[in-house]
Structures are given as C-alpha cells and as structure tokens.
Structure 1
Amino acid sequence: MARIPSIKRRRLTPPATDGDDTSPSTLEHENETSAFFKQASGWNLEQDYESRPRKGRKKEKENTRLPIKTSDGLVQQVDNVDEVHKEESDLEWLGTEQSEVEAVEEVIEKLKVPMRQQILEAKEEMARIALMLNEDPEENVGAFKALAQFGQSENTTIKKLALATQLAVYKDVIPGYRIRPLSEEDMEVKVSKEVRKLRAYEQALASGYQLYIRELAKLAQSGKGGTSRDGGPSLGSVAISCACALLTAVPHFNFRGDLLKILVGKLSNRKVDADFAKCRETIETLFQNDEDGTPSLDAVSILTKMMKARGYRFDESVLNTFLHLRLLSEFSWKASTNHIDRPSKEDSGFEAKKSKDKRVFRTKKERKLLKERKIIEKEMKQADATVSNEERDRMQAETLKLVFVTYFRILKLRSPNLMGAVLEGLARYAHLINQDFFGDLLEALKDLIGHAETGDGVEEEQEDEETTRNLTREALLCIITAFALLEGQDAAKAQATLSLDLSFFITHLYRTLHALSLNPDIELSVKSLYLPDPNAPASTDNKVNIQTTTVLLLRSLSSVLTPPLAARAVPPLRIAAFTKQLMTSSLHLPEKSSIAMMSLLGRITKTHEKKIAALWNTEERRGDGMFDALGGEVAGSNPFAATIWEGEILRRHFSPAIRDGVKVIEKNVLGLR
C-alpha cells in the first residue's frame, strides 16, 4: 500500500494591533541581541589581542659583541656573523629559484626581440666599448672581457662583429714593446701607484690578447672556410683574416708564434683557396718587412717543422716564400770603387759647427742642461736598438741554415712538384753557400742529371702524386744552379782551390741541344700546358718555376758561354762547337725561340769574334777531318772543320727579326754592313 504524503500546513500570523509591533521577526531579533551582549560581557579582549600573531618586522636581537678599534683609529661595531650567515642560508633556496626564473624570463625576452634588433644593439654596444678603450684603455681594463663575451654569442653575425672589433681595438692599443710576465719577486717589490696601475693594465691586455688568439686558432681549425650561407665569409675565414692582419700590424708583440701556427696550419693543406693565398702573402710580407731577423727565424722554423711532418708533400708556393727572405747580403754596407756609404754626422753624434750668426746665447746653467739632455737622448737611442748587428747576423745565419737543410732534404727525396722551386732557391742563394759544401752540392746535381739522362727512379714515384717530374727542366735548372754557385765569388780561385769541375754540366747541355730544338713544347712552361683552374685565387707576381724551357735553355747557355767574371777563360773550342750547334738548332726552333737564339748568338759573336771567325771563312779553317754533329763530346766534335752554312738559309727566313739577327751576327764576325 502506497505511502500518502502528509499535508503541509501553513502557519498563520495574527494581525498586528495598533501601537504594538509584536511580529515574530522582531521578537527573534531582540532575543539575539540580548544574547550577544550577555556573552560580550565575559570576553577578555586584551588577552585576545596579545595572543594575535604579528605581521611586522622581527625584533632585532641584541648584539652581544664588543666594539673594535681599526688601524685608522676608528671605533666600529661588529655584527653577529653567525646569525647573518644563518639567515642567508635559510633564504638560499628562494634566491636560487628566483634567479632561475629571472634567467628563463630573460631568454623569453630575447626570443621576442627580432634578430636584426639584437645585431643592431650588439653593434652599438661593441662600438661604445671600443670607443672607451681607444680613449683611455688603462681606466677601462674590464672592457677586454666585455668584448670577449660578445665573441661567445650563438649568433654568427655578432660573433664576426666581435672578432673584427677586437682586431681593431688590439691594433690600436698594443704598445711598441713586448710585455714581460711578472714573476713572484716582481709582485713582492713595492712600487708606486702609477706603476701598479700600468702593470695591471699590461697584464689584462696580455691575457685578453692571448684569449683572443686562442679563439682565432679554434675557429681557424674548425675547417669551416670559404663562404657562409648568407654569402659572406665564414667564421674560419674571418679568423684567418684577423690572424693575418695582426701578424702584419704587430709582429713584435707577444704570442707571435701562436699567430704563425694558425697561418702555417692553413698552408699545410694542399687545397689552394683564398684563405691559403692570404696566409702565403702575409708570410711573404713578414719576410720582406723584417729588419732584425727574429720574426723571420720563427716563421722559417715553424714552416720547416710543418714540411718535415707532412713528408714534404705540400704546395710548391709555400716553399717559394723562402725567396722573399732578407738574408745576410741585405745588411752589408753598400760600397763602390770611389767611396763607401757611412753614417751621417748626426747619426754618429757629431754636429757640424754652426756659424756665428746662427748661434744662440745660453747661460752656463742652460748649457749644462742641454749637455745632460743630449747624453740622455744618446742613451735612449741605444736602448731603442732591440737587436745588435751581431745578434741580427746570427739570426740571419740560423735562418739560412734552416732553409738550406730543407732544400737538401727535398733534393734527396726528389719530390716531383718541389724540384723546380728547390733548384730556383739554390740558384738564388748560391752565393751565400759555404765553399766547403760546393763539392757535395755539385755531386747531388750530377746525380739528378744522371737520372734525367737514364730516366731511372721516375717509375718508382708514388702514383698518388698530382704532378710528374719534368726531367728536362730539372736538368737545365741543375746546370743553372751549378754555374750560379761560382757567381759573386772568384770563380778561378774557387776552381783552383776546391778542384771544381763543371765539364759534366757543359757536356750534358751540349748533348741535349738537338733534342730541345725538336721539342714542340719548348715555348711552354709546366703550368701553361693546362687550362687555368677557374676556382683558383687570383695569381700573384710569383715568377718561380714558371719559366719556359726556352728561357731556361738561354740562361744555361749564357752561364756556359758568357760567364760574367771569367769571360776570357772560355776556350775557343767550346765556343765554336756551341755556335755551330746553335745555328743548326735555330733552323728548327719556333719563331720566338729562334729570335731569342739569334740575340744570344749576337752577344757571343760580339764578345768572342776572333775565336770563331774561322767558321764563316773556309780559307781560315784550322781543323782537319770532319765535323761530328751527333757526337756527345765537345772536344771530339771538331767544330773548326765545318762552316756556318745555316746563315744562308736563315737570311731567307719569313721573320724579319731573324733576318736582321743574322745580319748582326755576320757584322760582328766579318765586319759586314
């Protein structure tokens, strides 16, 4: 049976009477108010206020430590250190959390700033710091570290700007002397405030400069050369450019060896690009501008170590940098037959006597001060001379020793791509070689020519070599080098004292004349046989090992037939044999080579016209028998048994220059017009 809900009854309020408000709500309100006042009478409000927690500052505890008296005479109150540290340790977690939050907020703010705006702000800030350093570097020592921090940026553009800015700053503020590191004894010595300030600046400059060079070395070794994605130079290229600029501008300052290692590290690669050419040109400039010899010695030492470590496998242009050295002959006095250049009177400390009109009256005290000032200036000039003449000569001798050791080692190894450069270098510095080594060097050159005649040892070369040996060019360079050994010295005395015999080189040159005249590539050099590399950097004024075979042949013939010091010592038989062979070879040579050969024969006939006049006149023939044109010996060819019939053919040559050359030769010999 379902449950029936109860009926809700409504409460009826009796109507209010006039003058009496006795509604239920009013009665309830009166009852609550009376109850509140009854309870409030029992409250203890003062006790409740005392027990309430305070939100103000904590009460400072009383300091129980006594005051102390400092060395200046002041009385100071010392705080409780333990309590301070305790309060700081309690809030360490809050500070760490707050710093992390601030760091995250800074990263978010940086991400919101556009990249272009970041670069602009960094550029302005670096310009401001650089301006401060240029104005007063001693007062802004910390600016070096501020610039170095920009170099640690993740933005490549900002990093490049930082490297360039540091380069400009260091080039301006680096002094003209090396900074010596301070020892412990120097630190203990009491110095003035100015000296202490200068020491602090110099040490900050040296440390900042060292960090900068280390950053350049790290970027240069990264291997990221060439151009970047935005079309500009990469970080590696910028670092190499900065190192080259520093080495050129301040080669005297500290950490020169670190800069040289950056450049030599790039030169050790076989890839020749713009950075490679820049490093090579920088070292050549260093060699040319070096006056005391110390930077050149450091550079040559590092280069020779690199060459030895690489097994003498590097680009030929690196070895050619040695030809830019200012060696011992550069520093000798320039003399002539009439006078010798001597230092002026002002340099030697003597002044010319002044006329009476130009004399200035000075008191005794002024004359004394002037005399003391001159003494001080003289001492300052002596102090400015960093390296004496003896020390400079010693440096140059050590440099020359390293260069020749490298040349001789490459000669022993017979590296194909370096033989031309080595022989050119030996010919250039032959007058500086000690006469005691002439015999060994000539034997090495004879060995090379012997290999050129037989062709032995060429097949044994490694297959991975990029270039092949040109034995003909090597043989001609050996002949030039052998005769260059005696140039600049007394050739007759050297031959008599050392028993030097150059007949081997003369015979080899005589044997190769016919073969060279039939060579179709005689007017081409090693590098002109191929098309130029379009990606290679612009060529410099390097003229080493690029001469054509014709030029080398003419140089060899000039050394053999027209030596500068002993022209009269050339026997007539040799001149006649070579003249006959050269006239025959001129019939087969190309036009330009034939013109050059006619010019050489013109000089020979002008110098030795009486010795070879019989070749143009059959009635004055001195020899009997027949002329052996194919004989390999000069003495056994019997040249005076022949006549110069080739001149009649060359008179009808299509080239007017050759026809004129023949007329000059006949004029020198026979006096014809």
Structure 2
Amino acid sequence: MSRIPAAKRRRLSPPQAAGSGSPPANNYKSSFVANAAKWDLEQDYEQRPRKVKAKEKENGRLPIRTTDGWVKPEVTKEELAKDEEASDSFMGSGSEDGEEEVEEDAEEKPKISAKQQIFEAKEELARIASLVNEDPEEHIGALRTLAQLAASDNVTVRKLALATQVAIFKDLIPGYRIRPLSEDDMTDKVSKEVRKLRNFEQKLVSSYQSYVQELGKLAKTGASIDPSLATVAISCACNLLVAVPHFNFRGELLKILVGKLSTKRVDSDFVKCRETMETLFRNDEDGNASLDAVTMLTKMMKAKDYHVDESILNTFLHLRLLSEFSQKASYNSVDKPADEPYAGKKIKEKREHRSKKTRKLLKERKAIEKEMKEADAVVSHEERDRIQAETLKMVFVAYFRILKARSDKLMGAVLEGLARYAHLINQDFFGDILEALRDMITQAEWAASGDLDDSEDDEEAEEDEPSQRNATRESLLCVITAFALLQGQDGATAATTLKLDLSFFITHLYRTLHPVSLNPDIELSAKSLHLPDPHAPQHANQNTATNKINVQTTIVLLIRSLSSVLLPPTAIRAVPPIRIAAFCKQLMSISLQLPEKSCTAMLGLINKVTKTHGRKVSALWDTEERRGDGVFDALKTEIEGSNPFAGTVWEGEILRKHFSPTVRDAVVGIEKIILEAM
C-alpha cells in the first residue's frame, strides 16, 4: 500500500503583549469580520426609500379599436392614485426621510393649466362626437364618457360637454317615443338585429334621462352653482324641448322652464324660456305638448297666487287652437258639434247596395289605411280636437280664476286674451264673464269716487308690492272685451238665444268720456314713453317692442271701445239714433281738450260714424231742424236723459280754427258728409 502523507500544520504565533510594537497589517480585517456578524443587512435594505414611477405601472386595460387602428388606453389618474396609496400602505411609514422624498416627488409633478385642459377637452369631445356620429349603435357607450366630462371641476369644460351632449342627442333621438321593455319583451326570442336595436334604445333612454336630470339640478341657481352654468343648462333644455318635444322626459324639461318662469326676476333666461314656450305652442301639431305646458303653467300661477309676470299669460295667445279649433267651450265643458255624424244604422232609402265582394274589398282597404296611419304616426282629427278642447278648458280656467282674484298686474292681459278667444266661448261661460266684468267696472267706479271701504284699503296697504292698478284702462278693456265676446258669437244666436243687454257697459263708457279727455297721459301707454325705475331690475331686459299685449295707449282703447258701441256689425243689433246723437255731441266736445294726434283720431271716428249714420245725426249740425225740446245736459250720466237733439254741434266752428291743418281738414270733411246726408 502507498503511504499517505501527513497533513501539514500551520504554526500560530503567540499573541503580542500589551505595550509591544505596532500591530500587524491584517489586524483591520479581523475587526471588520468580527463586526459584520452584528449587521442586519436585510432590515437596512427594507428601510431604504424607494421611488415609484407612474410610467412603470402595469396597464390592465384592453386596447380599443379606432379608425387609426388598435390603441392602448392610458392609465387614468384615479388608477395611479390607487396604486400610490397601495404602495404607501405596503411600504409603511417607518422612515421619515422616505416620506419627505415622496412628497417632493408629488410636488415636482407638472400641473396642467386650465387652458390646456380646455384644449384637451375640446379634442376629446370632438373625437367622441365623430365616433358616435359614425356608428351610433357601436359607440353608444361613449355617452357615459361625455357624462364624466360634464362632471369636471372646470366650469368651461362642463359647459362644452353639456352643449356637445345636446347636439349628439338631437342627432340620435328617433322620431318616435321609446317605451320601456316589459318582462315579456325581455324573454321573447328576437333576431340579432332587433336585440341590437333594443339595446341601443335602452342605453339611449337611460343616458338621456341622466342628462335631463343633470340639467334640472344645474338649472336651480344657488350658492353652489355657477350662474353661467345654470344659463347653459336652461339653454340646453330649451333647445331639446323645441327640437324633440315628442321624446321621453318632456315633462322634466317643461319643469325646468316653468320653474324659471315662476321667478319674479325677468332676465335673459326668463325671456329664453318664454320664447321657447311660444315656439312650442306654434309648432305643436298634435297638441300633447301644449296641453302639458298649459296645465303646468296654470298650476304654477295658482301656486304663486298669480304674482307672476303678465308675459307668461300672453303665451296662451300663440296656441294653434286659437285658429284651428272650431268648437265652443268654457272652463268646465266643451260644446259638441251640431252636425255630428250619425252613429247608428243608416236609413233604408239612403243605404247603398253593395255586393259581398265590394264589402270585402272596402273592409280590406280600411284595414290597410288604418295600418298606414299607425305607421306614419298621423294624429286623427278627432284626437287632436279632443286634446285642443282640454287645452282650451285649462286656458279658460286660468283666465276665470284671475278675473275672480282681481290680480292687478294680470288684468289687462286676461281681458285681451278673452277678447282674442271670444269666438271659442260658449253661452254659459259668456254670462259668467260678463258678470265678472260688471263687478270690475263697479269696483273701478268706486275707486275713482273714493267710496271704497276702509277694510279694502287696509288689505291693499298690507300688500308687499304697491298697487299698479289703472281703473280707467281696466274699465275700457272691460267694455272692449264685452263687445268682442258678443261679436264673437253667431249673429242669429246673439240676437235670439242670448238676449243679453250691454247697456251697462255703454252707459259707463258715456260717463267716462269727460274724465278720460282730461287725462294728461291719454297718449301714453302703461309701459311705453315712461322712464323705467332704476331700482326695478325686472324691467331692465323687458322688450316692449315685441310685446303687443296691454301696451296700447288710453286713446287707442277709447276709440276701440267707441267703435264697438257705435259701429257694431249689422247682424247683432241696430244702434238707436239717440245713442248715436249723444255720443257724437260728447265726442265733438271732448275733441277740444284732446292733443293733436288724439283729436285727429277722434275726428276720424266721427267721420266714420257720420258716413254710416248720417241721417240719424244730421239734425245736430242744423239749428233749424231741432227734434227735441228742452236743454241738452252734457253732465247727465244717462244717455236717454241728456236730450242730445236739443243741442247743436257748435264745436266744429272752433275746430275750424285749430292750429293743426289735419284737424281743420277733418272737420271740413265731416261737414261735407252731413250736407250730403241732409
């Protein structure tokens, strides 16, 4: 066997004693190794701060297919924030140096300016709008992205998003109303195209509902809502109501407009809502939207105790039923047409003989016509008349309630409206209105004479707003309305069936001729030629040029009422000679007090009266042909007791020397007509 060599042994030098010479060269290595065992390297590494970059975060979103190809979506700020919170909670807060370093990194992130946000929002809105316009059914989910942009903190971005949604919805909304799917419809087996269309319609309705609800929240101006944002919301609601009044949630849009119209402040938003209502009334063919709007306006005015602007009431004059509806109605009923078709069996002599084959063909033709009407969504005349009748009843309800409430601000608009709707008022409502007009004239006379009770004065003093009632204008409007209602009825019916006496209104008009002629503001309207109150902001944006209701001057109202009394239609009733003579004598007398333009207009009316009733009044211009005995009493309150034929029209000689040549020529023309009539 081979011999195994013995292992070599290393010699160890003995330790040096203290105070000996310098240590060996490898003494620091031994101390380093001895201290390294005490180090906790893992804990030092764990406590070392780490920097997390947003770009290195993993993107878990799927790519999106666009016109440019597949695009990988970017990580949103919300996801980055969640990842940062998770990393902070994972790393803990053991080191203060680490927290300071993370805060420095957060401050170093560049902030996007407001201008850049608006620019990026415009590009995003344009991209989404183009995608939806290109394929609405495929990109209907982009409406949610628009809703998220509309909830941005930047007010300008929100405005742009709201306006973009209006344009998109106007293009997407179909020409029919989408009904909600029932349980049976959900379980039915349908084709792929039908299922796709249903899915598109339901998503469209849900997105549209959310959008309309958001408009309703923004339209309520308050401390937390920017006024400019509320203006944009109201404008969007007005555009949708005009463009798609047939679609779902029409009532929600009407609530936004009616809520703005209920305010006392008349600003640009108020005018926008009022003009939208007028446009809706003019363009509504079937009448459903008009019925909803009139009903809501009537309820709103009643809730406000009729303390609203009169321009709201004037919107009723834009309804299509004013020119299309032919039946008569009141505030609680509608008269049936006189020539209704006979619903029973035809008389044997009038029945046409048709063969079995002909009857079968007619039956099939009627079925086809019915299907075509349903497919074209054509509203029948019977349905439209029924809806317009309900709308007319609501209008009369509003008018009659205001008459009973004696609202000072709305009285002129109500009387003008009743005069316009005179041809649609039936006999029952006619009597109620005349009774209310009599009460108004009586109250106006008491107010002019100062005989009102102290209790009424106290009640008026307790009101917050000062009374703006003009008794003269109201009485003249009552006279005009009464005769307009009579003229709106059928002539034969008014003469035989109604048997109404309007002598009360004629006598009141005769008594008011002298006080009206002495009015210094006879050529001024209630709203024109007066400087507005600088402390009344509600009149700042009121455009009186477009508002033609209750803006006529007092002299115009006087001439209108005199024309109704002295020149009525021949089918109603002949005018007695004593009435014409008394009015002509008084009109010539008050012409001396009137201004130039008013005097010219009054002489023009006398010219027409003399042309029509020249023989009845010719004796007033000739002293040799007096028909009456006694003395003419100009201050007599009754027409018959004034004895007009005992007087003479001597005022013409003074008016011949008037400074205005127009007045002089008018007097000469009247005398020529009288000479021809003698």
Going from structure 1 to structure 2, the CA distance change for 1:217 and 1:511 (only over 3 Å counts) comes to same
Please state how far the C-alpha of 1:290 moved relative to its aligned partner.
1.1
Pick from 633, 646, 653: which aligns with 1:641?
646
Residue of structure 2 in register with 1:578 after alignment: 583
Does residue 97 (structure 1) correspond to residue 89 (structure 2)? The answer is: no
Does residue 610 (structure 1) correspond to residue 615 (structure 2)? The answer is: yes
Cα deviation, 1:459-504, whole Å, max 9, x if unaligned, reads 2324312442111111111101110111132345324323311000
Going from structure 1 to structure 2, the CA distance change for 1:108 and 1:557 (only over 3 Å counts) comes to farther
Please state how far the C-alpha of 1:671 moved relative to its aligned partner.
2.7
Please state how far the C-alpha of 1:131 moved relative to its aligned partner.
0.7
The alignment partner of 2:641 has SS state of coil
Contact 2:322 2:421 in 1 (8 A): no
Which letter does structure 1 place at the counterpart of 2:654? I
Going from structure 1 to structure 2, the CA distance change for 1:7 and 1:271 (only over 3 Å counts) comes to closer
Residue of structure 1 in register with 2:3 after alignment: none
Mean Cα deviation higher: 392-401 or 215-224: 215-224
Residue of structure 2 in register with 1:498 after alignment: 498
The percent identity for this pair of structures is 68
Cα deviation, 1:410-437, whole Å, max 9, x if unaligned, reads 1111111111111111111111111122
Which letter does structure 1 place at the counterpart of 2:512? T
Which letter does structure 2 place at the counterpart of 1:436? D
**Larger RCO: 1 or 2 (CA < 8 Å, sep 6+):** 2
Residue of structure 2 in register with 1:154 after alignment: 153
Does residue 301 (structure 1) correspond to residue 305 (structure 2)? The answer is: no
Contact 1:586 1:594 in 2 (8 A): yes
Residue of structure 1 in register with 2:395 after alignment: 403
The alignment partner of 1:130 has SS state of helix
Pick from 412, 434, 437: which aligns with 2:429?
437
Residue of structure 2 in register with 1:86 after alignment: none
Cα deviation, 1:24-83, whole Å, max 9, x if unaligned, reads 999x9xxx9xxxxxxxxxxxxxxxxxxxxxxxxxxxxxxxxxxxxxxxxxxxxxxxxxxx
The alignment partner of 2:640 has SS state of coil
In 2, the alpha carbon distance for the partners of 1:661 and 1:618 equals 21
Residue of structure 2 in register with 1:530 after alignment: 530
In 2, the alpha carbon distance for the partners of 1:165 and 1:297 equals 30
The alignment partner of 1:506 has SS state of helix
Residue of structure 2 in register with 1:383 after alignment: 375
Structure 1, gaps ≥5 residues long: 1-5, 13-23, 33-92, 334-371
Going from structure 1 to structure 2, the CA distance change for 1:144 and 1:606 (only over 3 Å counts) comes to same
In 1, the alpha carbon distance for the partners of 2:104 and 2:250 equals 44
Look at both structures and tell me which one has the larger radius of gyration over its CA atoms.
1
Residue of structure 2 in register with 1:591 after alignment: 596
Residue of structure 1 in register with 2:655 after alignment: 650
Contact 1:224 1:235 in 2 (8 A): no
Please state how far the C-alpha of 1:109 moved relative to its aligned partner.
9.1
Residue of structure 2 in register with 1:314 after alignment: 308
Which letter does structure 1 place at the counterpart of 2:389? A
In 2, the alpha carbon distance for the partners of 1:236 and 1:111 equals 32
Residue of structure 1 in register with 2:9 after alignment: none
In 2, the alpha carbon distance for the partners of 1:273 and 1:636 equals 54
What are the residue-to-residue correspondences of 1:252-291 with 2, within 5 Å? 252-291=246-285
Does residue 422 (structure 1) correspond to residue 427 (structure 2)? The answer is: no
Contact 1:223 1:236 in 2 (8 A): no
How many residue pairs match? The answer is: 550
In 2, the alpha carbon distance for the partners of 1:393 and 1:584 equals 51
Which letter does structure 2 place at the counterpart of 1:537? N
Which letter does structure 2 place at the counterpart of 1:294? N
What are the residue-to-residue correspondences of 1:442-461 with 2, within 5 Å? 442-455=434-447, 456=452, 459=457, 460-461=459-460
Cα deviation, 1:537-559, whole Å, max 9, x if unaligned, reads 25151111111111110110000
The alignment partner of 2:239 has SS state of helix
In 1, the alpha carbon distance for the partners of 2:19 and 2:104 equals 66
Going from structure 1 to structure 2, the CA distance change for 1:282 and 1:565 (only over 3 Å counts) comes to farther
Which letter does structure 2 place at the counterpart of 1:478? C
Residue of structure 1 in register with 2:241 after alignment: 247
In 1, the alpha carbon distance for the partners of 2:386 and 2:300 equals 23
Residue of structure 2 in register with 1:42 after alignment: none
The alignment partner of 2:476 has SS state of helix
Please state how far the C-alpha of 1:222 moved relative to its aligned partner.
2.9
The alignment partner of 1:587 has SS state of coil
Please state how far the C-alpha of 1:565 moved relative to its aligned partner.
3.8
In 1, the alpha carbon distance for the partners of 2:365 and 2:83 equals 68
Residue of structure 1 in register with 2:6 after alignment: none
Going from structure 1 to structure 2, the CA distance change for 1:483 and 1:260 (only over 3 Å counts) comes to same
What are the residue-to-residue correspondences of 1:97-116 with 2, within 5 Å? 97-98=86-87, 112-116=111-115
Contact 1:561 1:570 in 2 (8 A): yes
Pick from 654, 657, 660: which aligns with 2:665?
660
Contact 2:491 2:572 in 1 (8 A): no
Which letter does structure 2 place at the counterpart of 1:472? T
In 2, the alpha carbon distance for the partners of 1:569 and 1:479 equals 18
Does residue 465 (structure 1) correspond to residue 465 (structure 2)? The answer is: yes
TM-score if structure 2 supplies the norm length?
0.76
In 2, the alpha carbon distance for the partners of 1:493 and 1:254 equals 45
The runs of at least 4 consecutive aligned structure 1 residues that moved more than 4 Å come to 6-12, 93-96, 98-101, 104-111, 372-379
Cα deviation, 1:219-265, whole Å, max 9, x if unaligned, reads 00133799x6xxxx710000001001111111111111100100000
In 1, the alpha carbon distance for the partners of 2:559 and 2:407 equals 25
Going from structure 1 to structure 2, the CA distance change for 1:436 and 1:313 (only over 3 Å counts) comes to same
Cα deviation, 1:323-375, whole Å, max 9, x if unaligned, reads 11111542569xxxxxxxxxxxxxxxxxxxxxxxxxxxxxxxxxxxxxx9999
Which letter does structure 1 place at the counterpart of 2:431? G
Residue of structure 1 in register with 2:131 after alignment: 132
Contact 1:487 1:565 in 2 (8 A): no
What RMSD in Å do the two structures reach over aligned CA positions?
3.3
Mean Cα deviation higher: 490-499 or 643-652: 490-499
Going from structure 1 to structure 2, the CA distance change for 1:638 and 1:112 (only over 3 Å counts) comes to same
Cα deviation, 1:572-623, whole Å, max 9, x if unaligned, reads 1100000000000000011111010011011100111111111111122111
Mean Cα deviation higher: 595-604 or 109-118: 109-118
Does residue 521 (structure 1) correspond to residue 543 (structure 2)? The answer is: no
Going from structure 1 to structure 2, the CA distance change for 1:110 and 1:95 (only over 3 Å counts) comes to closer
Mean Cα deviation higher: 310-319 or 493-502: 493-502
Residue of structure 2 in register with 1:43 after alignment: none
In 2, the alpha carbon distance for the partners of 1:119 and 1:515 equals 66
Contact 2:177 2:248 in 1 (8 A): yes
Which letter does structure 1 place at the counterpart of 2:482? A
Residue of structure 1 in register with 2:98 after alignment: none
Which letter does structure 1 place at the counterpart of 2:417? G
Contact 1:476 1:556 in 2 (8 A): yes
Which letter does structure 2 place at the counterpart of 1:434? N
Going from structure 1 to structure 2, the CA distance change for 1:631 and 1:225 (only over 3 Å counts) comes to farther
Please state how far the C-alpha of 1:376 moved relative to its aligned partner.
7.2
Mean Cα deviation higher: 320-329 or 389-398: 320-329
Contact 1:225 1:235 in 2 (8 A): no
Residue of structure 2 in register with 1:15 after alignment: none
